[in-house]
Structure 1
Amino acid sequence: MTETNATRSSDAPVFPADRYGHRRAPRRRRPWLRALLVVALVAVLGLASARLYRQYGDPTYDAQVITYTDITDSQLRLVFRVTVPAGGSAICAVRARSRDGAEVAREEVRVDAPAGERQPVVEHQLTTTGKALVGEVLRCRAAD
């Protein structure tokens, strides 16, 4: 028995000769181009993560709000604790927001830890442009 197209087990399609023109040769692969793109992507992601870590991620300088009191139309007293290296200094960005979420005050506060203390408690009075509802510490970083 001869083999027909119906009994052939090949997965590749069979085209009649000279009917559809000649088939293109497979494209030459460029593995170096793919590797170069992967290296460039890794480099860009590495730079972005380093920048974001420098901006937001230093766990050495961590702040916790203890309380905010003495709230009036023009001020808010913010009490917070900052974790810094022993005897180190930090600069913390603090802000106050109103009931609708608008920022009514923002300042940078320098925190100097006494020798041997890693978590100084700081009291700071913010002067606001309107009635504040909440006081926050946005971030802390090493003092220059």
Structure 2
Amino acid sequence: MDSAILADPDDNKRTRGPQVSETRATTSVYPPGRYGRRRQPGRRWSLPLVLAAIVCGVVAIGVSWAYYQKFGQTDYSPEIVGWNEPTDAQMVIKFRVRVPVGETASCMLRARDYQGYEVGTRAVQVPARAGGGEVEVTESVPTTARGSVGDVMSCQPVG
């Protein structure tokens, strides 16, 4: 401390009281028998909890597999290849669809203008080729105005 600031020179020798060292306890100390049995530190996994987690995991995998089989890869999956330069009255759409052997696919085609409005639709039937697999189809869609984009909205089995 700066002695020029203090009013009394004896103030330089004063302290706040006797210095006490402090020792902290590492664990809480409770009175014996008052709060029941204390657990040992560390988490132990109980068998029912582990079994419940395994069962939930197996059920989740089973449900995922079932939904994939029902809604996953379909046999009638269309893929747009392109379209020709549209006119004011029609748009020619070229697409590819996978059709199983002996089946026929019914596909819904759509033409849209630059703003995204639908200007024409057409349903076409695509028979399977010999040996099954993908069939490439070129079909025209009549439009009410000049289209800019051709889509295959869906393909599904006939009937």
TM-score with structure 1 setting the length: 0.59
Secondary structure of the 1:119 match is strand
**Residue 130 of structure 1: how far off its partner (Å):** 0.3
Partner amino acid, structure 1, of 2:121: R
Match of 1:79 in 2: 94
How many residue pairs align between the two structures? Answer: 97
Equivalences for 1:1-144 in 2 at 5 Å?
A: 53=71, 59-144=74-159
- How far apart, CA to CA, are the structure 2 residues paired with 1:93 and 1:81? 13
Give yes or no for contact 1:62–1:140 (8 Å, CA) kept in 2. yes
Give yes or no for contact 1:87–1:118 (8 Å, CA) kept in 2. no
**Residue 70 of structure 1: how far off its partner (Å):** 3.2
- How far apart, CA to CA, are the structure 2 residues paired with 1:101 and 1:111? 26
**Residue 86 of structure 1: how far off its partner (Å):** 2.0
- Where structure 1 has 5 or more consecutive residues not aligned to the other structure, the ranges are 1-8, 10-48
- Where structure 2 has 5 or more consecutive residues not aligned to the other structure, the ranges are 1-34, 36-66
- How far apart, CA to CA, are the structure 2 residues paired with 1:107 and 1:58? 25
Secondary structure of the 2:137 match is strand
In structure 2, the CA distance between the partners of 1:134 and 1:109, relative to structure 1 (3 Å rule), is same
TM-score with structure 2 setting the length: 0.54
Runs of 4+ more than 2 Å apart: none
Q: Deviations over 1:46-96 (max 9, x none)?
A: xxx8xx95xxx6611000010100311111100000011123210001100
Question: Percent identity of the aligned residues?
Answer: 34
In structure 2, the CA distance between the partners of 1:58 and 1:90, relative to structure 1 (3 Å rule), is farther
Give yes or no for contact 1:64–1:81 (8 Å, CA) kept in 2. yes
- Greater RCO structure (CA 8 Å; 6+ sep): 1
